[in-house]
Amino acid sequence: MTIAIHSIFVGQPQTINDDSGTWHSSIFREMVEGPVRLTEQGLAGDRVADTDNHGLAGYQQVCCHPLAHYAYWNKRLDMRLRPGNVGENWTLEGADEAAICLEDIYRVGSATVQVSIPRVPCSKQAKRVGRSDWTRLTIGALRTGFYLRVLEEGEVQAGDEWALLERSQPWATVYALNELGYRGGDQQLAEQFLTIPNFHPGWVVRLKRLIQEKTGVV
């Protein structure tokens, strides 16, 4: 199935006061129409609040979430979630995390992007959607979304289709890494993920810990 941008969202850090207390986030992003400039820092008009966990240079310039995940949760949990509700930058039509691989390079609009890592669900997503169990549910279903790095700057807009330019790691799907990281799995697969160039340091630590648990070797 063709992957295309369904909608684009940008936001700025803001202070939110709700039943959970006072917190700081950019997760309440707003949809934008028309072309948006995509740079090596991310989308024009977008800025993350938590720079310790988001926006890491070379890994987290665009946050993507499949449109199909919203349909899944709305049906399963009788919710009314809409694109943008988990704070992504791009909601994607036709995106399947079991068919999208780390290091995939795509042409989107006049920009070139590369799949870097899965998104890690967090408490702010739970606050945004109004479910305290959201992190557990997301991990349980392995429907996390994923990040892109920007290889070539350009303009993107809703409706732009993704054109696959290169797939160097056809075995390394976003879903496979999530499954390995959250459910455990084959030591050899973990070691294979560690051979990926510029692999995210947080995931390196996680997979090395998994290998250590299986082998007993520090």
**End-to-end Cα separation, the chain, in angstroms:** 43
Of 107, 116, 2, nearest in space to 55 by CA: 116
- Residue 213: band (very low, low, confident or very high) from pLDDT cuts 50, 70, 90: confident
On whether residue 193 sits in a domain, the answer given is no
On whether residue 114 sits in a domain, the answer given is yes
Q: In this structure, are residues 22 and 130 in contact, taking their beta carbons and an 8 Å threshold?
A: no
On whether residue 107 sits in a domain, the answer given is yes
On whether residue 209 sits in a domain, the answer given is no
On whether residue 199 sits in a domain, the answer given is no
pLDDT digits (tens, 9 = 90+) for 144-165: 999 999 999 999 999 999 999 9
Q: Which helix (H) or strand (E) holds 170?
A: none
On whether residue 217 sits in a domain, the answer given is no
* CA separation for the pair 214, 93 (Å, rounded): 38
* CA separation for the pair 52, 57 (Å, rounded): 11
pTM comes to: 0.94
On whether residue 194 sits in a domain, the answer given is no
pLDDT digits (tens, 9 = 90+) for 25-82: 999 999 999 999 999 999 999 998 877 767 778 899 999 999 999 999 999 999 999 9
* CA separation for the pair 127, 145 (Å, rounded): 17
- Write out the residue range of the structural domain in which residue 59 sits: 4-168
On whether residue 213 sits in a domain, the answer given is no
Q: Name 32's Cβ contacts closer than 8 Å, sequence gap at least 6.
A: 8, 9, 10, 45
User: How is 176-188 classified by DSSP, letter by letter?
Assistant: HHHHHHHH---HH
CATH (domain of 85): 2.40.33.20
Of 27, 7, 8, nearest in space to 16 by CA: 27
Q: How many domains does the chain have?
A: 1
